[in-house]
Structure 1
């Protein structure tokens, strides 16, 4: 097998492409030949040390492929099954890998593996944000930051299908049309305009019940300002850097706000939760309510460039890595 590992934390240059020996799968594992690998911001957090790992370590959480071997105790999966995953253990950046079946889902025949590899993390994230963390209702005004990004494009389409009035922010005028094509009713360039003031204009001063913020440091204060009495800030990412410590008396108490910091693993703790989320994601894709347009494909050998492009925000949508 060929795999990408990191021996130290740092920039894209620490990603090492190596040839390694793959052992037989353990009793509860299967061996997967990866056909496509997802590229996600959390991968850069693992690489940089923002989310510390025990080093050396493999990297990558999301992939899709075909089972080539099964462990002795595996009952629900067989050789030849199309499967996908988006959870620990790390190691998706590889041509082949062993993976525990408890975090594995089957991919339906009407969803191709490249789409599955880009949808697992981003799609399940969208599912729990809209249906679990803060279940939206038709007609509700909601705000999502980074509307033209990989999650943002899926989120906009999904939220629009639920009848929401979807407001998005982007970092440049060039991304405004992209966001509008993916379901956003209003798009604000937060590098040109005060997005909190624009939200007040759009909502006629009422503010929002919820803000979904995966940007982090640069948008926190404005997101708080956008919320109405007893609103909720869903903080789920750090694209602009980790959040500063929160001053509860200053930021939360004045409007009695709710602040939550969710992640996929908190909403896929059981087989039933994982299957519910994955099945809904695949249903949205196969029905056409969510369309995935892969913006770029990278060779696994070019993983450093993929990380550079992701962090510099030049990608116009979900990207995929091909082993």
Structure 2
């Protein structure tokens, strides 16, 4: 038997229920994984609250790392004992052991341990497609990253700086501003100071920034648009403060023929080769010392509700992990 988290209704952290289940034997194209570390992500809260509707009851969690304990028919590129990680549906990472489709699982290089992989997979793959595919960063470009001290934000700032961009970050406190500077931000703006777009243009130049990476949503949407240069791109990849408001497409034209996109990791890793290529680039950046797994806090797996409360209250920095016994 294995301890597994289940959601039977949407709501607060108290809806997370722990049950004993039998993961069973993997079917064709599946592997069974014993988790060593589970990643906590804001999308887990969206699933729990119903912002992203699920068919209930449902498991929860998209990211984990561990060891393969069994393989099903047709799986040829993975073996029992392999160290692996994933950041993908089907939901159910909040578990000690589970079944996963083999084509969603990637092997780990020797230089990346399970905790680092569970902290990096979803956030790192997200940072990769945002920086290299959604808007391919070029040296000298100006970039605005909201929540620069957060899990994805920190990686975006670090990687974009390495690529030669000038990065401006936003943060919610003096402590988080210091973390954003560690990530390579040339300038950090605190939300409480107000007039974010004015400060961005003061730091980046009157023209504005070439791209905004915004995982905050409603609270920063207007400032994001106000910060963009003509032909700039608004990349809205999260809703931490709620979904962005409805707006007229003509608003983009009025502001200088702006681009707007709402990308998803699922679409950028739908093909297995894209998943493997993204993971390879991520792990290469870790091995080269460009990126690191900045783990801010760890919680025992059964204390996922406490972890959710901390994440929602913005009391976390970097990545958060759930650790099975």
User: What residue is the counterpart of 1:232 in the other structure?
Assistant: 233
Q: How does 1:209-228 map to 2 (within 5 A)?
A: 209-228=210-229
| SS at 1:191 equivalent | helix
| SS at 2:167 equivalent | strand
User: What residue is the counterpart of 1:7 in the other structure?
Assistant: 8
RMSD over aligned Cα, in angstroms?
Answer: 1.0
Distance in structure 1 (CA, Å) of the matches to 2:157 and 2:252 = 27
Q: How does 1:118-137 map to 2 (within 5 A)?
A: 118-137=119-138
Distance in structure 1 (CA, Å) of the matches to 2:273 and 2:63 = 19
> Conserved in 1, the CA contact under 8 Å of 2:34 and 2:96?
yes
Superposition deviation, residue 131 in structure 1: 0.3
Superposition deviation, residue 222 in structure 1: 0.7
User: What residue is the counterpart of 2:111 in the other structure?
Assistant: 110
Q: How does 1:116-195 map to 2 (within 5 A)?
A: 116-195=117-196
User: What residue is the counterpart of 1:309 in the other structure?
Assistant: 310
> Conserved in 1, the CA contact under 8 Å of 2:62 and 2:93?
yes
- 1:56 maps onto 2:48 in alignment: no
Superposition deviation, residue 140 in structure 1: 1.1
Runs of 5+ unmatched residues, structure 1: none
Superposition deviation, residue 252 in structure 1: 4.6
Distance in structure 2 (CA, Å) of the matches to 1:203 and 1:272 = 37
Superposition deviation, residue 154 in structure 1: 1.3
Runs of 4+ in 1 over 2 A off after TM superposition: 249-254
Distance in structure 2 (CA, Å) of the matches to 1:292 and 1:79 = 26
Deviations 1:262-289 (A, max 9, x none): 0111111211111110001111111111
Distance in structure 2 (CA, Å) of the matches to 1:20 and 1:284 = 37
> Conserved in 1, the CA contact under 8 Å of 2:32 and 2:70?
yes
Is the alpha carbon distance of 1:143 and 1:254 closer, same or farther for their aligned partners in structure 2, counting shifts above 3 Å? Answer: closer
- TM-score normalised according to structure 1 size: 0.98
Deviations 1:7-40 (A, max 9, x none): 0001111001111122211111000000000010
Superposition deviation, residue 253 in structure 1: 4.0
Distance in structure 2 (CA, Å) of the matches to 1:254 and 1:294 = 39
| SS at 2:295 equivalent | coil
| SS at 2:193 equivalent | coil
User: What residue is the counterpart of 1:270 in the other structure?
Assistant: 271
Deviates more, 1:119-128 or 1:198-207: 198-207
Runs of 5+ unmatched residues, structure 2: none
- TM-score normalised according to structure 2 size: 0.97
Q: How does 1:293-304 map to 2 (within 5 A)?
A: 293-304=294-305
User: What residue is the counterpart of 2:261 in the other structure?
Assistant: 260
| SS at 1:319 equivalent | strand
